């Protein structure tokens, strides 16, 4: 199958150099590049935030404070206390 492709001079020169270095045709260089791009499709190229900090999750002992339990209720209590403190000033 034939496909027409318009390239700027810099890209065309790069493809030519790669083809010469790899001893391949320009078409083969382009096919290989597209194949690599297709293989990367669906794979995350940059680590996600969770992956960046996974080594930190669970590494601190709270001393039994159970900080992740009842967070909604704790936050509501904190807001009520702050509101009471502002009213009593």
Sketch the domain layout of the chain as residue ranges: 8-56
* H/E stretch holding 73: helix 71-87
Q: Which of 23, 34, 27, 22 is nearest to 4 (CA)?
A: 27
Task: Please tell me the distance from the alpha carbon of residue 45 to that of residue 30, in angstroms, as a whole number.
Answer: 21
- pTM, two decimal places: 0.46
pLDDT (0 to 100) of residue 42:
62
Q: Tell me the pLDDT tens digit for each residue of 10-41.
A: 999 999 999 999 999 999 999 999 988 887 77
Is 44 or 62 the better-scoring residue by pLDDT?
62
CA distances from 76 to 65, 67, 71, 88, 89 (A): 18, 15, 9, 19, 21
pLDDT (0 to 100) of residue 16:
96
Is 3 or 26 the better-scoring residue by pLDDT?
26
Mean pLDDT in residue range 52-78: 85
């Amino acid at each position: 199958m034939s496909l027409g492709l318009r390239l700027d001079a810099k890209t065309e020169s790069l493809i030519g150099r790669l083809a010469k270095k790899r001893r391949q045709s320009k078409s083969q260089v382009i096919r290989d590049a597209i194949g690599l791009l297709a293989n990367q499709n669906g794979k995350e190229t940059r680590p996600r935030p969770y992956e960046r900090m996974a080594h930190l999750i669970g590494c601190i002992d709270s001393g039994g404070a159970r900080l992740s339990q009842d967070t909604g209720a704790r936050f509501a209590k904190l807001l009520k206390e702050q509101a009471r403190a502002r009213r009593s000033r």
